[in-house]
Chain A
Amino acid sequence: MSSYSQPARRRHLGDKRLIQMFIIPTVVLLILMNVFPLIYSLYLSFTEYSAINPTPPQWVGLDNYKKVLSDNLYWHNFAVTGRYALISVSLQMIVGFGLAMLLKEKFKGSGLLTTLILVPMMLSPAVVGAFWKNIFNPSFGIFDQFLGYSDPNTAPEWLGDPDLALWAVVIVDVWMWSPFVMLLSLAGLSAIPDYLYEAAAIDRASAWFQFRRITLPQVMPLLLIAVLFRTIEAFKQFDLVMGLTGGGPSLLQGTQAVNVTETVSVKLFRLAMPPQAQTGLSSAMAYVVLVIIIAISNLYIRALNKVREG
């Protein structure tokens, strides 16, 4: 009896140590590289500090937050990001879902085409942005040619015109990420049981009715996940803008010059890095962004659960 229980207990202990050994590296790394920096920057956000100055951080309370939340200059960046997120995510949903509807039923070669369509989203946004600069060029780029503007003098200057630059970012973003929405939509569409359509067909339901009453509600949870992912990503938007426009061009708004494609992440980077190096202020701004992202995530997760239950 005892000869059996002995090894069993040892193995149990072994398991416990094994779990610790297996999990500890991950947890330690995440705490060191994520949790600690977050706490550190929370502290910095309440101080007046510049990383390129030898002066140690000075406690200023909520001053940085007041500045970020009251200064029009920063509101501009939030407004740009919000506008960009709204337009870009909506278009991605339409294009991505449209593509998925076309690819829903398989035909010869549809697998290959699906994979080809997915290529853009795997590419590096910064590099993609740099190359789209060429595509958007009014004289030797293909975009304006494609739209039918053959004269470079009258062709729209996508990256230089303050009215168009944000649209240029949106166009590239939609090009890159509609495939993602398509991929999720396809997963949702393929999970709809056939008998629902069969029943509808027997009842002679119209195609539109089938779409509205069967297809849409069934894929809704996955569409919401797509919206959640893309909205969060839109608020993190940085690489593409840096590669494509660098935040510009600038526009005189009242007495202040503002950069029309400068998203919050780009602004943050500029603010944090030398020569500006306003470390305290940029930490406060980072926290405002963080709170917004957490809020959006929560909102969508709630909506998601509601859809699932209903």
Chain B
Amino acid sequence: MGTRASAPRAPATISTRVDKVGLRPKVTRAIRAFVVVILTVLILLPVVWMVMTSLKSPSDVVAVPPKIIFEPSIESFIFLVTERVQFPTRQEADEFRARDDLKWYEEKVAERGQKITRVGDFPKQLRNSFIIAGTSTIFSVLFGVLSAYAFSRFRIPGEGDLLFFILSTRMLPPVAVTIPIFLMYRELGLDNTYFGLILLYTTFNLSFSVWLLKGFIDEIPKEYEEAALVDGYTRLQAFRKVVLPQAVTGIAATTVFCFIFAWNEYAFAAMLTSDATRTAPPSIPSIQGVGRIEWETIAAASLVFLMPVVIVTFALRKHLLRGVTFGAIRKG
């Protein structure tokens, strides 16, 4: 599934295309740029709306028609990290508000007639997401880089079949393996443990990591290692001191991709985790407000959860094409 490599071209200072002469191309380019800007704004609108919603006060969130201009508030983020109860009567709420030992965030919440009872679940879920996605990423990249190196540099019997097998495991619908894994985990006591989910995500990302890294390592000239071997390095030393430093970009890109996949994963997390180890993706859709759906809290949670990925997408832009096609297509 490779693509035609385009031959390197000398930088042309003037266009040689006959159809590019004249004023018209300039105008059409301006029009095209304008259309693309409009479309980009449209595509990003839902994300912008999410940011806006997270900064709205509870009454502005459900305003009809939706408010474009509003007074920003950070209540949603207080809601997000706290567990609250509603005061049963107005009087009790007023009495509570009258106290002067309240912290600023307690006061904010008290204005809504609520009292903070404890720290919310979201920080813990976010931490779980970090632990599980982070650890599994380390392992999938570690095993991935070892296998990728072996596949790239040595002739292995049945290599093609083995590589195809590795790829095919990723094409499986996760639902096809969820049932037996659920039973297996229950039998082994691995459900609702960090280890269980880490093991699952490591495997889940491994096929991807092998394929992507193999592509990167294939591009490192063999001669470098051969020179090192001649200089008396062992194969392992050559791998560590010559190949790994050369593959740093590829390893970094693979790491980030694996992390995003594990970070975003929903099906297994929904099935195999509950309170103690639950990650953020299955939790956010089921955020329950106090007495109503707290849209601003859901927006704040989504924003906090999605921001790292948005930032990373920019860091990864050169490798995106490669990443989302399993390294099958290299040109971006």
Contact = CB atoms under 8 A, between A and B. Distances in A.
Contacts of B206: 26, 29-30
Given A37-B181, A140-B66, A273-B271, A191 B4 contact: yes
Contacts of A105: 29, 32
Interface in A94-122: 99, 102-103, 105, 107-111, 113-122
B281 A127 contact: yes
B62 interface: yes
B169 interface: yes
A33 interface: yes
Interface stretch (A58-66, A67-75, A229-237): A229-237
A187 B176 contact: no
B266 A125 contact: yes
Interface string B202-238: 1100110010000000000000000001000011100
B321 A242 contact: no
Contacts of A191: 3-4, 6, 331
Contact of A115 (B62, B173, B313): B313
A272 interface: yes
The interface centre, meaning the residue of B46, B181, B202, B324 with most chain A CB atoms within 10 A of its CB, is: B46
B99 to A, nearest CB: 34
A167 interface: no
A251 interface: no
Contact of B176 (A41, A123, A126): A41
Contacts of A309: none
Interface residues of A, number: 105
B264 A125 contact: yes
Nearest to B44: A116
Contacts of B320: 118, 183
Given A29-B202, A140-B61, A131 B183 contact: no
A126 B282 contact: yes
A22 B4 CA distance: 31
Q: How large is the interface on B (under 10, 10 to 19, 20 to 34, 35 or more residues)?
A: 35 or more
Interface stretch (A82-90, A197-205, A254-262): A197-205
Contacts of B174: 236, 238
B210 A26 contact: yes
A146 B255 CA distance: 39
Contacts of A184: 321, 325, 329
Nearest to A123: B306
B200 interface: yes
A122 B47 CA distance: 12
B175 A225 contact: no
B130 interface: no
B180 A41 contact: yes
A247 interface: no
Contact of A127 (B3, B33, B53, B284): B284
Interface in A12-65: 14-15, 18-19, 21-23, 25-27, 29-30, 32-38, 40-41, 44, 51
Contacts of B154: 15, 19
Given A134-B295, A145-B66, A222 B329 contact: yes
Contacts of A23: 146-147, 150-151, 156, 162
B285 A127 contact: yes
A115 B172 CA distance: 29
Contacts of B295: 134, 140
A107 B45 contact: no
A126 B200 contact: no
A132 interface: yes
A197 B19 CA distance: 9
B38 to A, nearest CB: 10
Interface in A201-255: 201-202, 221-222, 225, 229, 232, 235-236, 238-239, 242-243
B104 interface: no
Interface stretch (B78-86, B89-97, B110-118, B297-305): B297-305
Nearest to A172: B46
B328 interface: yes
A272 B61 CA distance: 37
Contact of A140 (B62, B306, B317): B62
Contacts of A115: 313-314, 317
A282 interface: yes
B156 A19 contact: yes
A122 B282 contact: no
A180 interface: yes
Given A23-B150, A23-B162, A34-B177, 12 more contacts: A18-B150, A18-B236, A26-B166, A26-B206, A113-B36, A127-B285, A127-B306, A187-B3, A187-B329, A197-B17, A201-B18, A289-B175
The 4 closest A-B pairs by CB, nearest first: A124-B264, A37-B180, A130-B285, A22-B146
